Each structure stands twice: as C-alpha cells, then as structure tokens.
C-alpha cells in the first residue's frame, strides 16, 4: 500500500490529541468555549463540543479496527505468498523443441539417445504416468481380441 499506514495515522491522532491536551490545559480553552457558549447560546457550541468528543472517540475505535484488519490482511497475504513460493519451487518446466519419433513416440535427449517418452518426461519433471486405453483404442483392442478369439476357434 502507498501512503501512510493506519498505524502511522493513529500515532498522528494520538500525538495531536496529547498536544491539544497540553494546549487546552495551558490556556483553559474549554472554559473559554463554555463562556462563549453562554454568551452565544444560539450557536449551540456545547452540543458541537460534545459531538466533536464523540466523533474523536469513534475515530479512535475505527482506527484500532483498521489496524487489526490490516494486520490480518497482511498475515493472510504473507501466508499466501509463502504457499505460492512453495508451489513455484515444485514446478519444473520442459522447454525447447523435443525431437520425437513419428512411429514409436520416443524422444531424443540432449545426448542423442532415444528414450521412451514416459522415461524422458519423468526424468525432466515430477510427472508420473499410468497407462490405460482411450475409447477409440479400446474399441480397436476389443476388435483385435474378438478377431483373435474367432480365428482360434
């Protein structure tokens, strides 16, 4: 985040409040406000002062809530960053051009040796292989088995 943080804002509010406390204590500002409010009761200064005090308390509570929310957000963000870095450290990328046999699908490695595709990919990544039949090949295998069974009879 750019700009000042909520903690910095809260510190500024506290410093201003403490400073105003000493200024008000030195010059009896509240007493002058009370005298002014008696002289000019139509301005309802006493209600404005009370409202300002309540507003200040509300802002202080709001600031504390913002600090807690920011801390939780930062902790969550740090946790997600750690998880992301862990996940990225596990990734292996196959790059470049792989020379592949058109018939048997073997791959030519950097030493010029032809290797089974599964062995090559397993050696260069975390991938594991299991084998099965796609629906088209399964139909073809079943036809071959049926023909074999019929020719045996």
Place of tokens 């196959």: 94
Per the CB < 8 A criterion, the answer to whether 119 and 85 are in contact is: no
Residue 120 has pLDDT above 70, yes or no: yes
Q: State the pLDDT confidence band at 1, using cuts at 50, 70 and 90.
A: very low
CA distance 146 to 83: 52
When the pLDDT of each residue in the chain is averaged and rounded to a whole number, the result is: 81
Residue 98 has pLDDT above 70, yes or no: yes
Residue 123 has pLDDT above 60, yes or no: yes
In the chain, the percentage of residues whose pLDDT exceeds 70 is: 90
Three-state DSSP class for residue 5: coil
| pLDDT 10s digits, 27-76 | 777 777 777 777 777 766 667 777 888 888 888 888 888 888 989 999 99
The pLDDT of residue 65: 87
């Amino acid at each position: 985040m750019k700009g000042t943080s909520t903690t910095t804002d809260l510190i500024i509010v506290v410093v201003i409040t403490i400073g105003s406390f000493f200024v008000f204590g030195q010059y009896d500002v509240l007493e002058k406000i009370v005298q002014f409010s008696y002289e000019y009761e139509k301005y309802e200064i006493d209600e404005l002062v009370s409202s300002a005090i309540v507003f200040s308390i509300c802002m202080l509570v709001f600031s504390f809530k913002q600090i807690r929310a920011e801390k939780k957000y930062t902790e969550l963000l740090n946790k997600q960053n750690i998880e992301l870095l862990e996940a990225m450290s596990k990734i292996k990328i196959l790059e470049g051009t792989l020379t592949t046999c058109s018939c048997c699908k073997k791959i030519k490695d950097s030493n010029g040796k032809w290797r089974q595709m599964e062995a090559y990919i397993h050696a260069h990544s975390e991938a594991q292989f299991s084998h099965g039949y796609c629906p088209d090949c399964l139909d073809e295998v079943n036809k071959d088995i049926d023909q074999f069974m019929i020719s045996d009879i």
